[in-house]
Amino acid sequence: MAAFHFGFDLNHFGWIRQDFYRDPVWTWQRTAIVSLFLFCAGGGQALAVGAGQGAARFWRRWGQVAGCALLVSGGSWLMFPNSWISFGVLHGIAVMLVLQRLGLARLPDGVLLGVALLALAAPQLVAQPWFDTRWTNWVGLVTRKPITEDYVPVLPWLGVMLLGFVVTRRWPGLWAGAAPRPLAVLGRWSLSFYMVHQPVLIGVLMAVQFLR
């Protein structure tokens, strides 16, 4: 993710010339990164539910995610006023966590797998122009992708998070084992790293550009 964003920043400042919006070299990378992000988020929820995580701890963490989503919107509006992020990956995770915690997590694995597959297929089956506005495109049933720097709507991405939840709940041992310490630290502070890495990268590039 950080490497992808570094490439995006280099392109933004004119150091390289790439089409991050249409070139499959970059769009497929983004899809893979977001998929892994949401699969792990679903897996983390399965582990939390299995460990009996209380409501207070869940909502405290949810507030952090939602608050960071608002910061992303504000920061992107300052940097990209014509394509600011109204519903990116953190916005999507915030909504999906609520859907999962308040109902979907109670469903058996077979039913939840069916819901996941329906979520993945829904945008191709029932897209409607009504969902193309900035106030409704968060659902995901759009007929055209909105002009924004990040777009992770509930559909189809809820399906990926639910797959992570089902796989982890069914085979929690998949996550067993010791990770190298640097990766373990990043895993524990994933939200902080997500919020900090781009301002740092952009700041460094701006400084280098100023000194050139």
Two tokens, residue 60: 């405290």
Q: Which helix (H) or strand (E) holds 120?
A: helix 109-125
In whole angstroms, what is the distance from residue 15 CA to residue 184 CA? 33
What pLDDT, on a 0 to 100 scale, did the predictor assign at position 179?
77
pLDDT digits (tens, 9 = 90+) for 96-132: 999 999 899 999 999 999 999 999 999 999 999 999 9
The region of weakest confidence among 50-59, 75-84, 119-128, 166-175 is 166-175
Residue among 204, 212, 207, 208 at smallest CA distance from 2: 204
Nearest 5°: the CA angle 163, 190, 158 is: 25
Q: What is the pLDDT of residues 136-155, one digit of tens each?
A: 999 999 999 999 999 999 99
